[in-house]
Amino acid sequence: MPLQFGDNVSTAETDYGTVLLDERVGDYWELNPTATLVVRTLLDGGELSDAAAALVREFDIDQTQALRDVETLVGQLRSSGLAS
């Protein structure tokens, strides 16, 4: 399930990850490089499993843990109203 940010969310990639700004309330979120890889994969149309596979390739972590981490991040982005 690909990820999509709301129209009210601005993004900017930095040397340290990605910054998200919720323009409705002025809150910002800073994503580390791991979360940035997940978000980039999902924004490009990848599924949760694709994002987990990218984490496994890049960071040599367990597939089960990678998928759990992806699901947690996506859940947090959706529950915060930043993404659908």
pLDDT tier for residue 2 given thresholds of 50, 70 and 90: confident
Report the SS3 class of residue 17: strand
Report the SS3 class of residue 80: coil
Residue carrying structure tokens 């998928």: 67
CATH 2.60.40, applies to 9-79: no
- The Cα-based distances of 8 to 28, 34, 64, 76, 79 in angstroms read 12, 23, 33, 17, 15
Residue carrying structure tokens 């040397």: 15
Q: What is the pLDDT of residues 20-70, one digit of tens each?
A: 999 999 999 999 999 999 999 999 999 999 999 999 999 989 999 999 999
The burial of 56, by beta-carbon neighbours within 10 Å (0-12 exposed, 13-18 middle, 19 or more buried), is given as middle
